[in-house]
Structure 1
Amino acid sequence: MCEHLLVSLSCYIWVRTQRIVEFNEMEQIKHRTVEVNGIKMHVAEKGEGPVVLFLHGFPELWYSWRHQILSLSSLGYRAVAPDLRGYGDTEAPPSISSYNCFHIVGDLVALIDSLGVQQVFLVAHDWGAIIGWYLCMFRPDKVKAYVCLSVPLLRRDPNIRTVDGMRALYGDDYYVCRFQKPGEMEAQMAEVGTEYVLKNILTTRNPGPPILPKGRFQFNPEMPNTLPSWLTEEDLAYYVSKFEKTGFTGPLNYYRNFNLNWELTAPWTGGQIKVPVKYITGELDMVYNSLNLKEYIHGGGFKQDVPNLEQVIVQKGVAHFNNQEAAEEIDNYIYDFINKF
């Protein structure tokens, strides 16, 4: 009995010590505001050396890269993670079209220039990954190598607009389709509250395509009562504090530009991405398991479109938010790849 209590106490002390160490390291992350492309952008950064630029997804912030910032900065890199436009402490232009691919890539090119470097190592997840592909498409001269999490290149089909194609596959209740009408999803989210929305999305482990029936917001119908080990109450509280100030309109506007982006990128139809790429996803990732992407990733289409795709990694038992759920593993994958260049 005493031995069991001693072991439990030792584990508790170790966990608390680790938390204190990480908290102290987090306090060393520098925060500043940069003028880019007509907006003020919040940037978190730490370290010295070659720049690693981290792009977050939905519904996240620079904070979703907290583990990677600490890890890569300790290995001789300058880790830079902005809040993308419409998120967190970065400005949120009011018009929907201000969130199209040209505007957001314009933000990133200006940010890279402001860092005083010609090129960066790019690491991106979810919507950040989609923007990452656009950056590699429009300005490959700015990207030395790209570590892409979750969302592979979404090959442009010249015969059908993006959202129309998703609707044809999964119907009107597919989450991207449900996000299209301005104000509608914001109202549903307001009914359940910011904390519920974030917890509901961040804890999802359903590998199927996300379906959002009309009515109560329910992205993840099997939401657990407790948070997963990789997401603490403090982590969730940080996300909630920022989204309560900004709301979700800016982030949702990214989805509302899918069809516009399809129109704008017509000149790049059939073009290849020549940047060196490493792709990492979780086997339970909802994107990996939707939109016929498994066949595209493993059947040769991905490699055809991205000839310098060096590796595809599927993490066993890991879901969508792999940069947080399997942080140490992701840290190692990033370092092993970018260290070659």
Structure 2
Amino acid sequence: MEGIEHRIVEVNGIKMHIAEKGKEGPVVLFLHGFPELWYSWRHQIAALGSLGYRAVAPDLRGYGDTEAPSSISSYTIFHLVGDIVALIDSLGVEQVFLVAHDWGAIIGWNLCLFRPERVKAYVCLSVPYLPRNPKIKPVDAMRAVFGDDYYVCRFQEPGKTEAEFAKSPELVMKAMLTGRSGKPLIIPKEGFLAFPEAIKSRPLPSWLSQQDINYYASKFEETGFTGGLNYYRNFNLNWELTAAWTGAQIKVPVKFITGDLDLVYLSFGSKQYIESGNFKKDVPNLEEVVIQEGVAHFNNQEAAEEISNHIYEFIKMY
């Protein structure tokens, strides 16, 4: 895309691919989710890079043109946050404006928890802060509520989901990006791609092109999905590793944005968590919550211009 440059940096023992626009100005660092890439932020990189900011978006560990260690245990939250701290160091700055979505949002919350001095302000999309419940491991809790066919539970078995997804990365990306049910993501016994014709015949929304899907698919055809799936396989281990932060608050300034059709907002208890005031208790500098009407999970792509404007209006105050 015009004006976006690409390079490889060494961070935390791996080679990481980053896309960036803008040579000077405050750094805005974008973290993508699953199953995505730096490309998920293409619109925001262009917008913020044109407004005097240095917009930077990596392919996270295990994704795209960034290295993918083979061990599942190389994808703990400490590895993921460590990558981002090293990336910030490599950019030659002390602090960044952080913008993150989905799994990137989880990494973002933990960066704010572990190293708040590195974040000026945080614009978080889709996934609110998930405070550690000391009484139950997260995958165990999800299995108890949603059952064994819940996608996070199904992702736990090494090799199985990636083998299915490898059959057609294009269909996986189309199904994921265009899903709008708002219900918990249940993978049927027949598999995620059990009904390919239904996915193929689904029309693309105006904000998503076949070219976009092809870009994602081409990268996952090269790398497979194992890296991204390994993030989910460390949920319970992360719970053990972060015991010391039980009850800790997020102290950086935060703006949270989600769509009212987002499956995370509707099925994780997120709506109740936000409306009850508990979100604000855990994140006392939560400055604003934006609920976008008629928008689903991938709001940074579906409502790209609106998201770019929200980011700019928030970070320009700092």
> Which amino acid in the other structure matches residue 80 of structure 2?
I
The match for 1:239 is: 216
Provide the C-alpha distance between the structure 2 equivalents of 1:228 and 1:219, rounded to a whole number of angstroms.
22
TM-aligned CA deviation for residue 277 of structure 1: 0.2
TM-aligned CA deviation for residue 293 of structure 1: 1.4
The answer as to whether partners of 1:122 and 1:145 remain within 8 angstroms in 2 is yes
Q: Does 1:207 align with 2:171?
A: no
Q: The residue matched to 1:42 in structure 2 has which SS? A: strand
Greater relative contact order: 1 or 2 (C-alpha under 8 angstroms, separation 6 or more)?
2
The match for 1:101 is: 77
Q: TM-score, normalised by structure 2?
A: 0.97
The answer as to whether partners of 1:278 and 1:310 remain within 8 angstroms in 2 is yes
The match for 1:308 is: 285
Provide the C-alpha distance between the structure 1 equivalents of 2:150 and 2:60, rounded to a whole number of angstroms.
24
Provide the C-alpha distance between the structure 2 equivalents of 1:164 and 1:41, rounded to a whole number of angstroms.
32
Provide the C-alpha distance between the structure 1 equivalents of 2:301 and 2:270, rounded to a whole number of angstroms.
22
TM-aligned CA deviation for residue 61 of structure 1: 0.2
Provide the C-alpha distance between the structure 2 equivalents of 1:286 and 1:215, rounded to a whole number of angstroms.
22
Provide the C-alpha distance between the structure 1 equivalents of 2:55 and 2:171, rounded to a whole number of angstroms.
31
The match for 2:249 is: 272
Tell me the alpha carbon deviations over residues 247-304 of structure 1, each in whole angstroms, 9 at most, x when there is no partner: 0000000000100111111000000000000000000000001121111111111000
Tell me the alpha carbon deviations over residues 202-228 of structure 1, each in whole angstroms, 9 at most, x when there is no partner: 110011111111223149997452211
Q: How many residues get paired?
A: 315
The match for 1:37 is: 12
Q: Percent identity?
A: 73
The answer for unaligned runs of 5 or more in structure 1 is: 1-25
Q: Does 1:80 align with 2:56?
A: yes
The answer for unaligned runs of 5 or more in structure 2 is: none
Q: Does 1:257 align with 2:234?
A: yes
The match for 1:295 is: 272
TM-aligned CA deviation for residue 132 of structure 1: 0.3
Provide the C-alpha distance between the structure 1 equivalents of 2:314 and 2:86, rounded to a whole number of angstroms.
25
Describe the shift of the 1:31–1:272 C-alpha distance in structure 2 as closer, same or farther (beyond 3 A).
same
Provide the C-alpha distance between the structure 2 equivalents of 1:94 and 1:187, rounded to a whole number of angstroms.
16
Provide the C-alpha distance between the structure 2 equivalents of 1:201 and 1:325, rounded to a whole number of angstroms.
13
> Which amino acid in the other structure matches residue 130 of structure 1?
I
Provide the C-alpha distance between the structure 1 equivalents of 2:161 and 2:28, rounded to a whole number of angstroms.
34
Q: Does 1:144 align with 2:123?
A: no
Select the structure of larger CA radius of gyration: 1
Q: TM-score, normalised by structure 1?
A: 0.90
For 1:18-29, list aligned pairs within 5 A.
26-29=1-4
Provide the C-alpha distance between the structure 2 equivalents of 1:75 and 1:220, rounded to a whole number of angstroms.
44
The answer as to whether partners of 1:282 and 1:315 remain within 8 angstroms in 2 is yes
The answer as to whether partners of 1:169 and 1:291 remain within 8 angstroms in 2 is no
The answer as to whether partners of 1:59 and 1:251 remain within 8 angstroms in 2 is yes
- Structure 1 runs of 4+ aligned residues shifted over 6 Å read 219-222
Coordinate RMSD, CA, aligned: 1.3
Provide the C-alpha distance between the structure 2 equivalents of 1:39 and 1:253, rounded to a whole number of angstroms.
16
Q: The residue matched to 1:317 in structure 2 has which SS? A: coil
